[in-house]
Structure 1
Amino acid sequence: MTKKPYTIQTSPFVVPTTDGKIINEHFGRASDGNSQLSIAHMIAPAGWSEPFQTPEFDEYTFIISGKKQFIIEGETVILSAGESIKIDKHTRVQYSNPYTEPCHYLAVCLPAFSIDLVNREE
């Protein structure tokens, strides 16, 4: 039997979290061992935030619904549904959803997301 030239992901890896955020990694280190690229569907609940970080990967974010706040090198940027952003690696950033509704978004990281490469501040 010949290997198909495509992969359909029907069972993404559910990343365990303690902050209420839902992370479903469709492709990446945890789901299929790909260290070059990761793609995840995320749901940030209302009131969610995480510590500042300076990742060693480029991160692209596309907002599906809701709003998400980014503090990038001291500048506050707010994205709404249908908007997207690329944040270059080695950029200090904080992600949050200080709003009253959840934010659904896609995150693409190059190279793939790894907790060892995110450099979160304490």
Structure 2
Amino acid sequence: MKKYTIQKSPFIVPTTDGKTIEEHFGKASTHDDQVSIAHMIAPPGWSEPFQTPEFDEYTYIIKGKKQFTIADETIILEAGQSIKIEKNTRVQYANPFDEECEYLAVCLPAFDFTKVHREDA
């Protein structure tokens, strides 16, 4: 039995906001509910509604900048920087800048639409 898994065909999450989401490991791609790892590209001007997820989320910025609004504080990360946002924290993700933002997101436990708790826009 192999002790590794190479992901050659990540699950492409359908979106309507121009954001690219490729889940390499997680509930949608490998049926793993312990961890999810996704490669994402947020277009200029993109944002999501506030949410209060039931999982920790780690974000590593590969290219561009990403804005995080956490409890009335605005944080901007640039390429090479990372952040951990603890579960049950109200947060909004956005890219209000004029270049795309490429990043990796790791969720523990795995991202789950039923546990993200997005607010109405």
Give the TM-score taking structure 2 as reference length.
0.99
CA deviation after TM superposition for structure 1 residue 5, in Å: 0.5
Instruction: Select the residue among 14, 36, 50 that pairs with 2:34.
Output: 36
Q: Give the SS at the match of 2:12.
A: strand
1:119 aligns with 2:117: yes
In 1, Cα distance between equivalents of 2:33 and 2:92: 23
Q: Give the SS at the match of 1:106.
A: strand
The residue identity in structure 2 corresponding to 1:61 is T
Aligned to 1:81: 79
Aligned to 2:106: 108
Q: CA RMSD in A?
A: 0.3
**Aligned residue-pair number:** 120
Give the TM-score taking structure 1 as reference length.
0.98
In 1, Cα distance between equivalents of 2:75 and 2:40: 18
Q: Give the SS at the match of 1:120.
A: coil
Aligned identity (percent) is: 72
In 2, Cα distance between equivalents of 1:73 and 1:103: 22
CA deviation after TM superposition for structure 1 residue 73, in Å: 0.8
In 1, Cα distance between equivalents of 2:8 and 2:99: 27
Structure 1: which 5+ residue stretches go unaligned?
none
Structure 2: which 5+ residue stretches go unaligned?
none
CA deviation after TM superposition for structure 1 residue 17, in Å: 0.4
Instruction: Select the residue among 40, 44, 47 that pairs with 1:49.
Output: 47
Tell me which stretches of 4 or more aligned residues in structure 1 moved more than 4 Å.
none
CA deviation after TM superposition for structure 1 residue 111, in Å: 0.4
Instruction: Select the residue among 88, 95, 100 that pairs with 1:90.
Output: 88
The residue identity in structure 2 corresponding to 1:80 is E
CA deviation after TM superposition for structure 1 residue 84, in Å: 0.1
